[in-house]
Structure formats: structure tokens, C-alpha cells
Amino acid sequence: MAKTPPTKSHGRLSISASLQPRDLMVDRPRLKGAWCAKVITLFPDAFPGVLGASLTGKALQDGLWRLEPIDLRPFGEGKHRNVDDTPAGGGAGMVLRADVVGKALDKAAQGTPDRTKWPVIYLSPRGKPFTQSMAQSWSQAEGLTMICGRFEGVDQRVLDEYQVEEVSLGDFVLTGGEIAAQAMIDATVRLLPNVLGNAASTEEESFSNGLLEHPQYTRPATWKGRNIPDVLMSGHHGEIAKWRKEQSEKLTKERRPDLTGKDADDA
Ligand code: SAH
């Protein structure tokens, strides 16, 4: 890459001429009614990304969920399909234009039900922190639309006009919303029926009962002089369950006292 000073942070992007979203694997027979994530992004090629691997990837292939990246670029203005402009009031960076993002949201809204069944989210460090209970609730919806910001973010008016909910991956600043979108989609998709092989595992894992999960072990029984705790090798299911619960409670108290006693629904 040439080392030119980045006067406009999007300067190296190529322009895509198509208004058609890349609807991945739409022709698969089981897709009708499958949970769907529509993701508005300047980087549609970043999808499915890691969501294409392992269990989420297999579930995508099998049509258990659907992914529709919506390229923001074709909604841009003028010959260069500009999507951003300088911040009103001055300051560094660029802001994604309300009119451009609005057109992409209109496109995304086609064929979707009301917000109770289809949340519309802007990935944003200013948003409500993402939790397991949000993932639970989104997995009950028919799908969702996500806006991935870039640069300094999105013009406030489009968030107000479309009543977009802001959700944050955590208290840090990413370069764009794509990684946050993939993290949240992953957490949601693995809760959909049949995505994980062992359905029970989502009920017992961290956060689902307001506790962190107990430690896990597997073979070999001894490694570098460290043994698997005897109780786990004892075959006493009652004792094992008791030990795991105690470990869970101890760990949660030590590491996340803010979680103790909280039900997943309070999160
Ligand atoms: N100027 C903004 C940060 C912009 S970061 C501020 O200070 O609040 C660029 C884009 O990355 C954002 O528009 C958002 O979509 C995404 N992003 C950054 N941090 C994020 C986080 N913690 N959670 C979700 N999205 C984030």
C-alpha cells in the first residue's frame, strides 16, 4: 500500500456497481423462514468471516440461518458513491451520511416484520452492553438488521428517525462494527434450534444461569503431574453436579461478583 497521508479514511475502497445485496446461499431449500441477519456494511466481503467456520458455518450451509450482507457503497452519492462527509461543527474523521444509511435501511426493511420480531441495531461503543440475554431474545426473533459503522460513526439523525437501538460489544473502540456484528451474530446463532449438536450445553454454560461455568477437564487423566479432580472420575453424578455448582459459585464470586445471584433475564 502506498504511504499517502489518509485525508479521507475510505480513500482506498473500490466502488461496487451493484445494488443487489450478496444474499448468501439463498437457493438452499431449508432457508424459508430461517433466522436471518441483514448486515449493512462497507465491507460485505468481511462476511461470513469466522461465522463461516465450524458450527455456525455448518448451520449456515444447512440453511438453519441466513446471512445477507448489504453493501453500503452503492447507496452512496454521486459518481464516487460517497457515503460519508466531514463532521458538522468540525473535528477529525468522517461521518456516515444519514441519507445514505437511510436508503440502506429501507432496502434492509423490505420483507421484514415489525421491530418486536426484527430488531434494528447500530453497533456502537455508546450502546447498551451486549449480553447473553440479548442474544437469547434476538434468537427468538425472525431475524435482525445491523448497521456497521466506520470512521467516526453515523449521523445521529438516521438513528433517531429509524429508532435504531445502539448496542456495544464492550468498553473499547473498534475500527468498525463488523467484528462486533460477527461476535453478536455468533452468540445469537448458536442459540437457534439444532445449531449446536448438544442442545443442553447452552443451558449450563456461563451467563445462562447468572453464573460462570465450572472448570472443564478431559484426557489424559494426569498431565505434567496435574490430575483431573477425583470427583470427576468417581462416576457419582450427584457428587459431580454438586462439585460443579460449588466451583461455579466460587469462580463467579471471585471474578464477577456483579453477576452473583443474577438471573439471565436480569442481565
Ligand atoms: N467515534 C466513535 C467511535 C467510532 S469507531 C465514538 O467515540 O463513540 C467506528 C465504528 O466502529 C463505530 O461506528 C461502530 O460501528 C464500531 N464500533 C467501535 N467500537 C465498538 C464497540 N465497542 N461495539 C460495537 N461497535 C463498535
What is the per-residue pLDDT for 264?
45
Residue 240 grid cell: 459431580
Task: Find, among 156, 153, 70, 139, the residue nearest to 106 by Cα.
Answer: 70
| Most informative mutation of 10, 122, 124, 172 for ligand 1 (most atoms within 8 A of CB) | 124
How many C-beta neighbours within 10 Å does residue 26 have? 11
What is the per-residue pLDDT for 13?
47
Scanning 94-234, the segments in alpha helix (DSSP H) are: 98-109, 132-140, 156-161, 178-189, 201-204, 230-233
Buried b (16+ CB within 10 A) or exposed e, 39-56: bbbbbbebbbbebeeeeb
Ligand 1 atom at minimum distance from 130 CA: 23
- Ligand 1, atom 11: closest residue by C-alpha: 176
Could you tell me if 105 and 162 are in contact, meaning their C-beta atoms sit under 8 angstroms apart? Answer: yes
Residue 153 gets the label, from left (phi > 0), alpha (psi -120 to 50) or beta, of left
Residue 19 grid cell: 445494488
Is any atom of ligand 1 closer than 6 Å to the C-beta of 152?
yes
Q: What is the C-alpha radius of gyration for the chain, rounded to an integer number of angstroms?
A: 22
- Ligand 1, atom 21: closest residue by C-alpha: 125
What is the per-residue pLDDT for 19?
55
| Most informative mutation of 174, 184, 186 for ligand 1 (most atoms within 8 A of CB) | 174
Give me ligand 1 centre to Cα 175, in Å.
Answer: 7
Is any atom of ligand 1 closer than 6 Å to the C-beta of 123?
yes
Is any atom of ligand 1 closer than 6 Å to the C-beta of 91?
no
Give me ligand 1 centre to Cα 220, in Å.
Answer: 43
What is the per-residue pLDDT for 18?
53
For the chain, report the end-to-end CA distance as a whole number of angstroms.
44
Ligand 1 atom at minimum distance from 147 CA: 15
203 φ, ψ to 5°? -80, -25
Structural domains in the chain?
35-189 (3.40.1280.10), 205-266 (1.10.1270.20)
What is the per-residue pLDDT for 175?
98
Ligand 1 atom at minimum distance from 152 CA: 1
Per-residue pLDDT tens digits of the chain, which is 267 residues long: 445 554 444 444 444 455 554 444 444 444 579 999 999 999 999 999 999 999 999 999 999 999 999 999 999 999 999 999 999 999 999 999 999 999 999 999 999 999 999 999 999 999 999 999 999 999 999 999 999 999 999 999 999 999 999 999 999 999 999 999 999 999 999 999 999 987 667 777 889 889 999 999 999 999 999 999 999 999 999 999 999 999 999 999 999 999 975 654 444
Is any atom of ligand 1 closer than 6 Å to the C-beta of 124?
yes
